[in-house]
Amino acid sequence: MENHSGPAPSTQITTEYVMTYVAPLGPPMVIDDGMMVVNVRPGGWVKGPNISGKFISPGADWLRIMPSGVFRLDVRGLIQTDDDAYIYISYNGIIKNSEESTERLNNGELLTENDVPYFVAAPTFQTSSEKYAWLNEVQTINKMVEIQFGEEGYVKYDLFIVR
């Protein structure tokens, strides 16, 4: 039977919480008007029902600034779990700042998800650990919880499996 009100989804997406993590950020290095590189400093933490660890070197975000002002994330990092497994994380995503949120961030203020109009990314993982092999087999999304630039800069995300 035809649906004359327009297309409707044929499936549903659900999410399952995996972890929250904090990645310490170095100061942004401005390459030109269209790119900044932000190193992920060692430390921070990764905590979830089935994972616990920290970020280690190397890691960085090659942040592209589009003509519209939208930022495109290109992040690569390395997690060392508390039981000494290594997990590579990489993701792309979109940040849509307002003029106010950009100014506040550049002034070193702490911003939350309520201060930034849109900040979502799609991590994938790679590991040889049998315990964490399930991460190799799923697509995840993360949503920014907090971000701050400056001496104690960091970004905090909640991360979910998409099903």
Domain ranges of the chain: 22-162
The pTM for the full model equals 0.91
Q: Which CATH architecture has domain 22-162?
A: Beta Barrel (2.40)
The strand pairing partners of 159, in sequence order, are 19, 142
**What pLDDT is recorded for position 1?**
54
pLDDT < 50 regions, the chain: none
What six digits make up the tokens of 71? 């930022």
**Closest Cα partner for 159 from 125, 114, 111?**
125
Pairwise CA distance, residues 91 & 157, whole Å: 12
Q: How far is CA 36 from CA 12, 44, 49, in A?
A: 36, 21, 34
**What pLDDT is recorded for position 19?**
98
Give just the sign of the alpha carbon dihedral 139, 163, 20, 153.
positive
DSSP code at position 150: S
**What pLDDT is recorded for position 3?**
58
**What pLDDT is recorded for position 122?**
98
Are 16 and 158 in contact, with CB atoms under 8 Å apart? no
**What pLDDT is recorded for position 2?**
57
